[in-house]
Amino acid sequence: MAKHLTRRQLLVGAGLSGLALHAPGLFAMHGNTQLPAPIRRAVPSTGERLPAIGMGTWITFNVGSDPYLIEQRTKVLKTFFDHGGSVVDCSPMYGSSADVLGRSLDALGARDQLFAATKIWTGDESATREQAESSRRKWGVERFDLLQVHNLLGWQGHLETLKAMKAAGEVRYLGITTSHGRRHGEFARIMETQPLDFVQLTYNVLDREAEARLLPLAQERGIAVIVNRPFQGGSLFRRFQSEPLPAWAGEAGVSTWAEFFLKFIVAHPAVTCAIPATSSVEHMQENMAAMYGELPDEQQRQRMVAYVRSL
Amino acid sequence: MSDPAWLSYSLQDFLMFGPEVFLRLFARINQDLWPWQLLVVPLSLIVPWMAGRPEIVWRRLALVIVAAAWILSGGGFLVNYFGEINWPAVWIGWAFTVQGGLLAALAVTRGCPRLSIGRTGWFAAFWLAAVVLLPWLTVVQSGEPTTLALFGLSPGVTVAASVLLVGGFGRATFWLLLPVPITWVLFSTATYWALQTQWLLLLPLATLASLVAGVWLSPRPVQSPGPQSAHHGPVRR
């Protein structure tokens, strides 16, 4: 009984206690003494297993130098790490988000738990390294785990440089991104012809265009998939939160709408992780609950689609 | 620009920040500049009195106050606060400082335009409504009294009040002073629309109303005198 807990164990324990209070059904099957195992997915190119729920920073971490809001976002990031999160995604396009992220990481001292993913977002195809270095300084990391070409902007030049950077060990993985279902044709052609580790795209219970071509192609080509806009920019909550969950939600491992939307996504076999963004600790707890417990099977996923369509 | 992908973007897609973060900017600038508000508020309130005086020195001072308000709200709020979370605000902030410089030059060379005789009361009423009532829109929107958006510190109220004076200048100066307020009206309308901060949409609306009121308040051109009265030569009786 006199065993000392490390800070990490204490934080994870405290976080999971909060999660258990929030979603007790998740933990019932594991008893009180055994921590549940988070859902992880392998990156096809290396086999590295990543937590299935990551964190986006679009809008939510762009708070400038406001000390109060930086402290609030630091609490959100702490909650994310406490619940077993790792993948954090950002972009130079997101205003002050990278600076805020760096300050939050400084405050938490949690870079060892981080899978750092950002993007290259410039039309100047010769500025890849310069922008990556600028982002690296803001994040305060030794190197990025993943660098992605944002929305295919100048992708030819950037991708060549990223390949060279990966070969030199300056970055571990490379990828490309799109959002809102844009430019899927060109996106697929790049997936077919380029040695990508990751793609990032929009996929959720209503925006399912990726199911037709991109997700099967990712499986076929062994490319990891990060899913952005899992809540359709929050509009899924605005549309459906006042509605009841289906009676069979528990069978699919779902106890909240956040779990409903996220588990629908991460249950797809091609998906590596989803990256919801939030500025609220409570919402982060809800999001991270989707990384635990049962996942819906394919039949249940189809029922999920039919259910939201019926509302 | 002919790329059809652009058509699929909405205003919300360009928004990089949330309403909470935007409204906090007003609280932060109020906190950082305290207690200068104790000087800024009385100065904003005496502008109508100064502008209505016949002596040019007062009308120069009135325009100096307005010029300083543009420079402060542009260089302060837009460049240093809003620009941190929304890079286009930096460019608009510099445009505000240029506009402030222009107004300062006009203050030195001409002073504040003369108000239409008999309408100084209306000018004072419009001006005071702008600098006293409009600052509360951010408070109503956020529910936080600390977010009061004062004339001289926040761009919306500064523009809404000061365009009252623009109509009083001559045609060339009027058109020279118009682009920045109109740009601000368009930019702020798009921002507030995307943020869904409905109360703040009243600010650009008030600015347009103020611009119209400013033209109405400006002195009407003097009626052209007849040829007999225009004759200034020696009079023979």
pLDDT tens string A122-136: 999 999 999 999 999
Identify the pLDDT of residue A3. Answer: 39
**Inter-chain touch B85–A62, beta carbons under 8 Å:** yes
What are the φ and ψ backbone dihedral angles of A53, each rounded to 5 degrees? Answer: -115, 120
- Token pair in block for residue B103: 């107004």
Least confident among A279-288, B26-35, B166-175: B166-175
- Of the candidates B12, B17, B28, which has its C-beta nearest A62's C-beta? B17
CATH number at residue A34: 3.20.20.100
Q: How confident is the model at residue B32 (pLDDT cuts 50, 70, 90)?
A: very high
d(CA A35, CA B179): 63
Residue B2 in this model has a pLDDT that exceeds 70: no
B156-177 mean pLDDT: 92
Q: Which amino acid is at A72?
A: Q
Higher pLDDT, B161 or B110: B161
Give contacts of A183 with chain B, Cβ < 8 Å.
5
B186-198 mean pLDDT: 96
Identify the pLDDT of residue B169. Answer: 86
**Inter-chain touch B5–A64, beta carbons under 8 Å:** no
**B positions 131-170 inside 8 Å of A (CB):** none
A100 inside domain: yes
Identify the pLDDT of residue A246. Answer: 95
B34-41 mean pLDDT: 95
Residue A120 bridge partners (DSSP): A149
- Token pair in block for residue A238: 């605005």
Residue-wise over B178-194: b if at least 16 C-beta within 10 A, else e? eebbebbbebbbebbbb
Phi-psi region of A262 (alpha: psi -120 to 50; beta: other; left: phi over 0): alpha
Surface-to-core class of residue A76, CB atoms within 10 Å of its CB (0-12 exposed, 13-18 middle, 19+ buried): buried
- Cα distance from A63 to chain B (closest Cα, Å)? 6
Identify the pLDDT of residue B105. Answer: 96
Residue B163 in this model has a pLDDT that exceeds 60: yes
A vs B: CB pairs below 8 A: 47
**Inter-chain touch A59–B25, beta carbons under 8 Å:** no
d(CA A256, CA A288): 11
Q: Which amino acid is at B132?
A: V
H runs (alpha helix) in A96-199: 97-108, 128-139, 155-167, 184-193
User: Do residues B7 and A49 touch, judged by C-beta distance below 8 A?
Assistant: no
Task: Using CA coordinates, name the residue in chain B closest to A73.
Answer: B21
A2 inside domain: no
Q: Which amino acid is at B202?
A: L
Residue B24 in this model has a pLDDT that exceeds 90: yes
| Structural domain range at position A97 | 9-310
Residue B116 in this model has a pLDDT that exceeds 80: no
Residue B15 in this model has a pLDDT that exceeds 90: no
**Inter-chain touch B5–A183, beta carbons under 8 Å:** yes
Q: Is B8 on the interface with A (CB under 8 A)?
A: yes
Count of domains observed in chain A: 1
**B positions 174-193 inside 8 Å of A (CB):** none
Identify the pLDDT of residue A89. Answer: 98
- How is chain B split into domains, by residue range? 16-217
What Cα–Cα distance (Å) separates residue A103 from each residue in A59, A72, A134, A137, A171? 16, 12, 15, 11, 22
B15-25 mean pLDDT: 95
Q: How confident is the model at residue B186 (pLDDT cuts 50, 70, 90)?
A: very high
Task: Using CA coordinates, name the residue in chain A closest to B7.
Answer: A182
Q: Is B10 on the interface with A (CB under 8 A)?
A: no
A250 inside domain: yes
Identify the pLDDT of residue B170. Answer: 85
Share of chain B above pLDDT 90, in %: 72
A1 inside domain: no
- Cα distance from A215 to chain B (closest Cα, Å)? 21
* Reported ipTM exceeds the 0.85 cut: no
Q: Is B28 on the interface with A (CB under 8 A)?
A: yes
pLDDT under 50: residue ranges of chain A: 1-33
- Cα distance from A185 to chain B (closest Cα, Å)? 12
Give contacts of B11 with chain A, Cβ < 8 Å.
none
A3 inside domain: no
**Inter-chain touch B84–A94, beta carbons under 8 Å:** no
Residue B132 in this model has a pLDDT that exceeds 70: yes
